[in-house]
Structure 1
């Protein structure tokens, strides 16, 4: 099976099983410019054509406000717009201060910068969805993200939970969809390399020092090398929990 076919099959399985795309949907695609978001946009459009669904896409790229090489960044944004144009997907760009607020929170030791940045980013996207009349918001979270989130929540929040493939928001007025939820990160990176797509560099100064990165490194260096089946078994456990074999709350 080719890399393209494998990706399309896994994404299609998620789309169909969780009923992520329907006629008359208006989907906002969170397009950071990273590998995940490029693959997300490409295969959403690919599957829309195959399924012959009458739905609308709007790829949204937000300037988070982090310090960066502005000229290089603007060139990257133009390339993103051209990428969307080639897919016949409308492109929307907007400047925000999410990154600035994250830096301020870090400097004042008020809250974790990633939490602040993510919260404001989602708030902006939720508001945009309401203004545009969109009913779906697509994120490029993949299988590795689901596994890492599971361990973060268990280690640091004392709960067994992770990101959902389909998540209802605001009493059904908006749904978050994650079409890449069954896809491993390695497949995404290999496909982007094969397609020779240019990836927009992440200017976030905290991207390499997060709890998420710590857990990712722990899994890749200490856990997965123990046995080639471990990663797949963790994923299977997350998607097939045996609730009846978990004890009831004590504390």
Structure 2
């Protein structure tokens, strides 16, 4: 099966199983510039030809305010061109999320990434509320779901993870994650094959986060035990048995 058909099948399954799309939806697509968000934008744009109703898309890229070189601005131009080719309006928001995260790191805060993420979502929620978008689409994938589960278990002391669909503000906004059934490696391979304009992440903390540590640990220590472990862990999150968990 080709990468395109595999992605089409898995994304379609997620869209239908969790009822992510409805007639008249106005959807903000969080376009970071990574392979995941580019594939997300591509398939959401393409899916409009497959459904019998209309929904609106707008890709929004948040400039986090991190120090960067001219290649970043060139990357933004390529992102806009990519969206134009898909018939998806592109919007750039300049923010200070990155500088706030760096300030938190300088003050010795343990998780500058949390600060950055919190402000990033705040900008997206504000934009959606002000301009009447009822859904925000994120490029979180199958590996993100598993890694988040382990992070919350190990560092927060709870069994939880990201959701395929998440209600916010009493239903005024919903977060949707159409890539939730797709492995990261498939998304990366498809983006490379299609020559998507991936923009390098300018975040100075990107290589040293807890998430990166957990990703590496799972790849190097858990998934190497047996080829079936990766799939079993993913299925276990959807196959919880509350009667065998202590209250």
CA–CA distance in structure 2, aligned partners of residues 227 and 121 of structure 1: 38
* Preserved CA contact (<8 Å) 2:23 2:54: yes
Per-residue CA deviations over 1:77-107 (Å, capped at 9, x if unaligned) read: 0100010001100110011000000000000
CA–CA distance in structure 2, aligned partners of residues 109 and 91 of structure 1: 36
CA shift, 1:181, in A, is: 0.3
Give TM-score, length-normalised by structure 2.
0.99
* Preserved CA contact (<8 Å) 2:141 2:179: yes
Tell me the equivalent position of 2:67. Answer: 67
* Preserved CA contact (<8 Å) 2:82 2:197: no
Equivalenced residue count is 247
CA shift, 1:111, in A, is: 4.8
Query: Does 1:24 pair with 2:24?
Result: yes
Per-residue CA deviations over 1:55-92 (Å, capped at 9, x if unaligned) read: 100100011000010x2111110100010001100110
CA–CA distance in structure 2, aligned partners of residues 179 and 14 of structure 1: 6
The 5 A counterparts of 1:69-218 are: 69=69, 71-218=70-217
Query: Does 1:232 pair with 2:236?
Result: no
CA RMSD of superposed structures (Å): 0.8
CA shift, 1:241, in A, is: 1.1
CA–CA distance in structure 2, aligned partners of residues 86 and 196 of structure 1: 13
CA–CA distance in structure 2, aligned partners of residues 223 and 120 of structure 1: 33
Per-residue CA deviations over 1:28-79 (Å, capped at 9, x if unaligned) read: 000000000000000111112111331100100011000010x211111010
Gaps in structure 1 of 5+ consecutive residues: none
CA–CA distance in structure 1, aligned partners of residues 91 and 76 of structure 2: 10
CA–CA distance in structure 1, aligned partners of residues 160 and 93 of structure 2: 32
Query: Does 1:51 pair with 2:29?
Result: no
**4+ residue runs over 4 A deviation:** none
The 5 A counterparts of 1:34-45 are: 34-45=34-45
Per-residue CA deviations over 1:147-200 (Å, capped at 9, x if unaligned) read: 000000000011000000000000000000000000000100110111012210
